[in-house]
Copies of this chain bind each other. A is one copy, B any other.
Amino acid sequence: MDELDYRFLCELASQLRVDSVRAAAAAGSGHPTSSMSAAELMAVLLARQLRVNVENPADPANDHLVFSKGHASPLLYAMLKAMGVVSDEELLTFRRRGSRLEGHPTPDVPFVDVATGSLGFGLPVGVGLALTARRLDRLPNHVWVLCGDSELAEGSMWEAFEHAGHEGLNNLTVIVDVNRLGQRGPTRHGWDLGAYAARLGAFGWHTIEIDGHDPGQIDYALADARATRRRPTAIIARTCKGRGVSAVEDREGKHGKPLADAEQALGELGGPRSPLTVPMTPPASQGAPYRYAGGPLVLPKYELGDEVATRTAFGDALAALGTARGDVVALDGEVADSTKLETFAKAHPERFFEFYIAEQQMVAAATGMQARGWTPYVATFAAFLTRAYDFVRMAAVSRAGLCLVGSHGGVSIGEDGPSQMGLEDLAAFRAVHGSTVLYPCDANQTARLVADMAGLEGIRYLRTTRGETPVIYGPDEEFPVGGCKVLRTGGQATIVAAGVTVHEALAAADLLAGDGVSVTVIDAYSVKPLDSPELVAMATATGRVVTVEDHWPEGGLGDAVLSALAENPVPVRKLAVARMPGSAGSADQLRDAGIDRTAIREAVLALLP
Please report the C-alpha to C-alpha distance between residue A188 and residue B384 in the assembled complex, in whole angstroms: 19
Closest 8 CB pairs of A and B: A155-B155, A117-B419, A569-B569, A555-B555, A97-B584, A427-B431, A158-B158, A153-B356
Given contacts A99-B583, A103-B416, A120-B357, 14 further A-B contacts (CB under 8 A): A29-B416, A95-B415, A150-B357, A155-B158, A183-B335, A183-B338, A188-B356, A386-B390, A393-B424, A397-B418, A427-B427, A427-B555, A430-B555, A562-B562
Please report the C-alpha to C-alpha distance between residue A286 and residue B100 in the assembled complex, in whole angstroms: 61
Q: A428 on the interface (CB 8 Å rule)?
A: yes
Please report the C-alpha to C-alpha distance between residue A367 and residue B159 in the assembled complex, in whole angstroms: 23
Knowing A162-B188, A357-B153, A428-B428 are in contact, say whether A566-B571 is a contact too (CB < 8 A): yes
Knowing A182-B357, A424-B431 are in contact, say whether A383-B389 is a contact too (CB < 8 A): no
On whether the beta carbons of A572 and B582 are closer than 8 Å, the reply is no
Q: Across the two chains, which residue of chain B brings its CB closest to A425? A: B431
Residues of B within 8 A of A334 (CB): 150, 153, 182-184
Q: Which of A194-202, A306-314, A488-496, A498-506 contacts B (4 or more CB under 8 A)?
A: A194-202
On whether the beta carbons of A559 and B563 are closer than 8 Å, the reply is yes
Please report the C-alpha to C-alpha distance between residue A120 and residue B534 in the assembled complex, in whole angstroms: 44
Within 8 A of B (CB), among A109-150: 115-120, 150
Within 8 A of B (CB), among A231-265: 253, 255
On whether the beta carbons of A563 and B556 are closer than 8 Å, the reply is no
Q: How large is the interface on A (under 10, 10 to 19, 20 to 34, 35 or more residues)?
A: 35 or more
Q: Across the two chains, which residue of chain B brings its CB closest to A559? A: B559
The smallest C-beta distance from A18 to any residue of chain B, in angstroms, reads 21
Copies of this chain, count: 2
Please report the C-alpha to C-alpha distance between residue A354 and residue B567 in the assembled complex, in whole angstroms: 47
Please report the C-alpha to C-alpha distance between residue A354 and residue B185 in the assembled complex, in whole angstroms: 10
Q: A518 on the interface (CB 8 Å rule)?
A: no
Please report the C-alpha to C-alpha distance between residue A390 and residue B390 in the assembled complex, in whole angstroms: 10
The smallest C-beta distance from A66 to any residue of chain B, in angstroms, reads 14
Q: A269 on the interface (CB 8 Å rule)?
A: no
Provide a sorted-by-A list of 27 A–B residue pairs whose CB atoms are within 8 angstroms.
Answer: A29-B416, A95-B415, A97-B592, A98-B582, A104-B417, A118-B387, A150-B334, A150-B356, A150-B357, A153-B355, A153-B357, A155-B156, A158-B158, A158-B159, A182-B356, A184-B336, A255-B337, A384-B390, A423-B431, A427-B428, A427-B554, A428-B428, A428-B431, A555-B555, A568-B571, A569-B570, A569-B571
- Encode A572-600 as 1/0 by CB contact (under 8 A) with B: 11100000101111001000100000000
Please report the C-alpha to C-alpha distance between residue A337 and residue B201 in the assembled complex, in whole angstroms: 33
